[in-house]
Amino acid sequence: MTYHSATGPVGAEGRYWDALLEGRLELPRCTGCGRWHWPAVWRCGSCGSWDHEWTQQPLEGEVFTYTRTHHPFGGTEAFAKPFSTLIVTLNSVPVRLVGVLEGDEAGLRIGALVTGTIARTAFGDAQIPALRWSLS
């Protein structure tokens, strides 16, 4: 099993974590049929190709859905309550990613435009990269 310095065991998504640690978002696309894959896969389920190219993507998108958390649970100690977790559909590719909303929630709604940044968050004793979203 392969281990990533920030996240522990990894599979096909290792390059995703490496890119986040370097301050950018990269996602895989099958070179055989052009299908975007997230979560990352070793082999394309559509065409069977083992070849993928990873390309940098802007952290911009639209809120697909969200949830507001009012009570603490393990791993959320660093967040002021309540906080909102978003699932965002990226503008550039048909992929959805999860992250926490930073800043004012006044305009938060499904369909709201957001811009992302890469932050660090505590995961046990490690600091791992994590996405943060802000309303545009």
Summarised one tens digit per residue, pLDDT across range 91-114 is: 999 999 999 999 999 999 999 999
- pLDDT score recorded for residue 8: 61
Per-residue pLDDT band at 5 (split at 50, 70, 90): low
- Alpha-helix runs per DSSP H in the chain: 14-21
pTM for the whole thing? 0.89
3-state SS class at 20? helix
- Extended beta strands in the chain, E state: 2-4, 8-10, 25-30, 52-57, 60-69, 83-90, 96-101, 113-123, 126-135
| Structural domains in the chain, sorted by start | 1-57 (no CATH), 58-136 (2.40.50.840)
pLDDT > 90? residue 20: yes
% of the chain surpassing 90 pLDDT: 74
**Mean pLDDT, all residues of the chain:** 91
